[in-house]
């Protein structure tokens, strides 16, 4: 119950103000289609430099939580999911809104998000210290394999093509080696003076997540979307709460699916929402109502996508393996403050760790309260034309990248990586494994170098890295993640061929 000692930190005036700003800002950003939670968190990182680590993390954590929930506003009122995690919400949420039950759909969505989110964070609270202690047994070879596992899991699960996913991870790992070698001080792959200090993770994150979005918005050309915002009538929150708890099966299914999906690195909220929706439909007494404005659909989808937020941070905070692209960005936010996840975080920086985790718990409550309050406004913000959003995001990206180290070099790197990523994404590559490679690369290399030194003094590199129970388990997991994804890819290709043959 160590976390209880640090609850006071959340209520310090600046920390609480940041929690409020992050929650309300995240709800509005989340409701804006095209602004993904990952990009929102990446653009916020520069604002955390001048803050204490726990305060910076409170802001980022609040934004992460509420952007996922905020996406439901546009899913319900505009039929445009604010983020991929809200796709399943659109199915019944928008139909409810069209039936004049928009307010009820929003209330159910935020209440279900809050309940799912709180349970997810509770799991984070109780599971993380146990796993962090377990991480103590990890030596350099294990940490090396863990870093590789992080890249392969996201590389194989986050993309349509296993080879391209792993290749993206490799590109990220290579980018992380640019600059000066830490041990010998040798220059590596420095082709321009801007790369002398290596690639700054924050500038890279901003570029990789923001610039492709900007170009995608510009690719729509000179047109505006005629988006109709459905007006909402007033509705009793108490009736909504009664309806929510009257649908306990959908809520518990959604929360359970969200928690499980969150714990598995690389899967993400989109899958959580859709799987929960599907399961809720299967177990429902009235499956025929799904898709026609059934509250159970909204409850299952929204409890799932917020329940996965807390657990997605478990592998991050214990083993440095981010469970989602947004968690990878949060890892970047931790590293800039010189804090490493795992035992270091819980033993040397307990205030940072627990204040952050506790803030996510309080943030869920604030999200429910403010979510209902700002939903109407957020839906209006979601109507801001794409070309205006593009200009604003570009400006924020340039200022954010520059402010990392007051260096134009970071701005060049941000823009170059972002433009390259746009084209790579359009040809089947993915930003998430690339970012993971970039973030985990230094951890992998430091442990590889340390392991190589130990290996030289003992049995040699091959026995050191490839024998021992834990090494073998981790290598098996790496191979399993690749093998599983290859099988899934082959199966989906075969199914696509059968479909096209049948057509």
Partner 1 sequence: MTKTQNTIVAAAVAAIGAWVCYLSYTQEPAQAFLFPRVISTAFVILAALALAQTALGREQAVEGVTMREASRFLPGLVVLFIYVFWAANTLGFYTATAACCFVMLSLYDPAPHDQVMTWLRRALITAGFVAVMYGLFAEVLKVYTPREIFF
Determine the Cα–Cα distance for residues 378 and 248; give it in Å rounded to an integer. Answer: 28
Residues numbered 264 to 293 that lie near partner 1 (CB under 8 A) are none
**Residue 448 contacts by C-beta under 8 Å, 6 or more apart in sequence?**
140, 144
Q: How far is the CB of 408 from partner 1 (least distance, A)?
A: 5
Nearest CA-CA partner of 363 in 53, 126, 61, 82: 61
Interface map 14-53 toward partner 1 (x if CB under 8 A) = --------------------------------xx-xx---
Contact of 360 with 61, CB cutoff 8 Å: yes
Does 96 engage in binding with partner 1 (CB under 8 A)? no
Residue 188 phi, psi dihedral angles, 5° rounding: -130, 125
Determine the Cα–Cα distance for residues 451 and 456; give it in Å rounded to an integer. Answer: 9
Residues numbered 402 to 441 that lie near partner 1 (CB under 8 A) are 402-403, 406, 408, 411-412, 415, 419, 423-424, 426-429, 441
Count of residues that bind partner 1 according to CB under 8 A: 65
Residues numbered 334 to 363 that lie near partner 1 (CB under 8 A) are none
Q: Which of 8, 160, 460, 463 binds partner 1 (CB under 8 A)?
A: 160
Q: How far is the CB of 400 from partner 1 (least distance, A)?
A: 9
Q: Which of 73, 439, 444, 478 binds partner 1 (CB under 8 A)?
A: 444
Contact of 358 with 313, CB cutoff 8 Å: no
* HSE, side-chain direction, 13 A CA sphere, residue 210: 30
Q: How far is the CB of 395 from partner 1 (least distance, A)?
A: 5
Residues numbered 216 to 255 that lie near partner 1 (CB under 8 A) are 218-224
Q: How far is the CB of 399 from partner 1 (least distance, A)?
A: 5
Cβ nearer to partner 1, comparing 131 with 396: 396
Give bridge partners of residue 187 from the DSSP assignment.
Answer: 180
DSSP 249-287: HHHHHHHHHHHHHHHSTT--HHHHHHHHHHHHHHH-S-G
Q: Which of 130, 248, 392, 472 binds partner 1 (CB under 8 A)?
A: 392
Nearest CA-CA partner of 318 in 136, 117, 65, 119: 136
Please state, in angstroms and as integers, the Cα–Cα distance from residue 439 to each residue in 114, 202, 283, 334, 479, following that order.
31, 10, 41, 11, 21
- Taking every pair of Cα atoms in the chain, the longest distance, rounded to a whole number of angstroms, is 73
Q: What is the dihedral of CA 37, 39, 44, 46, to 10 degrees?
A: 150
Interface map 364-383 toward partner 1 (x if CB under 8 A) = --------------------
Cβ nearer to partner 1, comparing 69 with 382: 382
Cβ nearer to partner 1, comparing 246 with 395: 395
Angle of helix 431-457 relative to helix 201-218, nearest 10 degrees, comes to 160
Interface map 163-182 toward partner 1 (x if CB under 8 A) = xx-xx--xx-xx--x---x-
Residue ranges that bind partner 1, judged by CB under 8 A: 46-47, 49-50, 160-161, 163-164, 166-167, 170-171, 173-174, 177, 181, 183-184, 186, 188-189, 211, 214-215, 218-224, 385-388, 390-392, 394-396, 398-399, 402-403, 406, 408, 411-412, 415, 419, 423-424, 426-429, 441, 444-445, 448-449, 452, 493, 496
């Amino acid at each position: 119950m160590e976390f209880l000692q640090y609850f006071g930190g959340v209520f310090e005036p600046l920390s609480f103000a940041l929690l409020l700003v992050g929650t309300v800002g995240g709800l509005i950003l989340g409701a804006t289609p095209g602004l993904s939670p990952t990009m929102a968190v990446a653009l916020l990182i520069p604002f955390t430099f001048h803050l204490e680590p726990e305060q910076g993390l409170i802001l980022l954590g609040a934004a992460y939580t509420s952007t996922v929930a905020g996406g439901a506003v546009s899913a319900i009122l505009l039929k445009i999911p604010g983020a991929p995690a809200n796709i399943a919400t659109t199915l019944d949420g928008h139909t409810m809104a069209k039936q004049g039950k928009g307010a009820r759909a929003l209330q159910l969505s935020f209440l279900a998000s809050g309940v799912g989110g709180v349970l997810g964070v509770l799991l984070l609270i109780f599971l993380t210290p146990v796993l962090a202690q377990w991480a103590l047994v990890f030596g350099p070879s294990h940490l090396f394999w863990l870093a590789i596992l992080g890249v392969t899991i996201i590389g194989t699960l986050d993309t349509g093509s296993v080879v391209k996913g792993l290749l993206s991870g490799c590109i990220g790992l290579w980018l992380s080696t640019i600059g000066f070698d830490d041990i010998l001080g040798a220059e590596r792959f420095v082709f321009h003076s801007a790369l002398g200090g290596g690639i700054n993770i924050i500038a890279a994150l901003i570029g990789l997540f923001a610039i492709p979005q900007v170009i995608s918005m510009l690719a729509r050309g000179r047109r505006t979307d005629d988006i109709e915002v459905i007006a909402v009538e007033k509705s009793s929150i108490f009736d909504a709460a009664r309806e929510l708890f009257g649908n306990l099966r959908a809520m518990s299914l959604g929360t359970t699916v969200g928690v499980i999906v969150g714990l598995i690195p690389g899967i993400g909220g989109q899958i959580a929402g859709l799987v929960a929706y599907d399961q809720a439909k299967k177990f429902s007494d009235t499956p025929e109502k799904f898709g026609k404005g059934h509250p159970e659909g909204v409850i299952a989808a929204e409890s799932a996508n917020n329940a996965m937020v807390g657990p997605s941070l478990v592998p991050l905070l214990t083993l440095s393996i981010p469970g989602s692209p947004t968690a990878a960005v949060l890892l970047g936010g931790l590293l800039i403050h010189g804090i490493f996840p795992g035992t270091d975080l819980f033993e040397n920086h307990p205030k940072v760790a627990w204040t952050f985790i506790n803030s996510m718990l309080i943030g869920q409550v604030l999200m429910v309260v403010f979510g209902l309050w700002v939903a109407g406004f957020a839906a209006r913000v979601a109507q801001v034309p794409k070309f205006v959003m593009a200009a604003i995001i570009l400006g924020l990206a340039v200022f954010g990248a520059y402010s990392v180290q007051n260096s134009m070099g970071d701005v060049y790197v941000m823009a170059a990586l972002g433009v390259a990523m746009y084209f790579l994404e359009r040809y089947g590559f993915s930003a998430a494994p690339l970012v993971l490679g970039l973030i985990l690369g230094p951890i992998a290399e430091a442990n590889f170098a340390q392991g190589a030194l130990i290996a030289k003094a003992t049995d040699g590199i091959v026995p050191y890295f490839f024998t021992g129970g834990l090494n073998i388990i981790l290598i098996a997991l790496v191979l399993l993640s690749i093998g599983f994804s290859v099988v899934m890819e082959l199966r989906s290709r075969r199914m696509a061929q059968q479909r096209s043959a049948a057509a």
